[in-house]
Amino acid sequence: MEIVYTSCQPLPVVTAEVVAPGEQIFDDGDPRLWQVDFSPPADLKQFVVGETPSGAVDRVPFQQPQPGRILVARIVLHGDLALYHDFTLDDLSGGKVTYRQKNMAPEDFRRETSCG
């Protein structure tokens, strides 16, 4: 599983994480299944869940989510801007990518997120 930050004018990243939200609304108290922090913020755009990128502090080692559980990929940027995307592991089956609430093939994702 990988989190990709797709901005063509990216800001430095402070935190990358996978959250298992509660039944209601996403909350800062929801359990983290994986979390890495950067100090100083890092100019990275790709994060392999479960791995600790160079310069990161591993705050929460990866924990396997329950099957069918809705998850949230969250990136916190310098200046406290947070980006969220919800998904399930089923959304990623067969090598699929989830982007803007659609499941797609990796080549379609690359085309949709191209900055050229």
Distant-in-sequence, close-in-space partners of 113: CB < 8 Å, separation ≥ 6: 4, 6, 99
Model pLDDT, residue 47: 97
- Domain locations in the chain as residue ranges: 2-88
Is pTM beyond 0.85? Reply is yes
Q: Is the pLDDT of residue 115 over 90?
A: no
Q: Is the pLDDT of residue 105 over 80?
A: yes
Model pLDDT, residue 85: 92
Q: What is the pLDDT of residues 14-43, one digit of tens each?
A: 999 999 998 777 778 899 999 999 999 999
Average pLDDT (43-69) is 95
Model pLDDT, residue 25: 73
**What values do phi and psi take at 91, rounded to 5?**
-60, -25
* Residues 12, 77 contacting (CB under 8 angstroms): yes
